[in-house]
Structure 1
């Protein structure tokens, strides 16, 4: 898996959670769905929890996710 795939994976995780979730729920679901795709020999294996936040920022810039000011504290939501 590559870092640039994370925004698409995050969309799928959020859809799987009904369009919204806390960061804890999102990370648990991401690991459940995609953990096996993370290769221990790749840096993303060690940085994905940081990089998923980058993906959320990219999705907010694209207006695919609601701005953090609109969502409840600690909740990520699709627009």
Structure 2
């Protein structure tokens, strides 16, 4: 079952695959391309997963696993 904790793992996986940094749209595309079936089978999570990707990124920043962006939108997400 897909949940928010799993989404954090997927964000890290996507960023690793993208060379350690990536734009939110690229992270979302990676997750959709790789986990489309799981997302579709997840029920209501299908309708919130892109919000949950951003939630996961913020949680990873809070855990010092992603570099801070200081509310800027012109910076990619980047692993620490």
TM-score above 0.5, yes or no: yes
Q: What is the 5 A alignment of 1:3-18?
A: 3-18=4-19
Q: Is the 8 A contact 1:3 1:44 kept in 2?
A: no
User: After the TM superposition, which residues 17-28 of structure 1 pair with which residues of structure 2 at under 5 Å, given as runs?
Assistant: 17-28=18-29
Query: Retained in 2: the 8 A contact 1:23–1:74?
Result: no
Name the SS for the 2:48 alignment partner: helix
Higher helix share: 2
Alpha-carbon distance in 2 for matches of 1:2, 1:21: 22
User: What is the deviation of 1:4?
Assistant: 2.1
Contact 1:14 1:21 in 2 (8 A): yes
- Aligned partners of 1:59 and 1:65 also within 8 Å: yes
Unaligned runs of 5+ in 1: none
Partner residue, 2:51: 50
The count of corresponding residues between Structure 1 and Structure 2 is 78
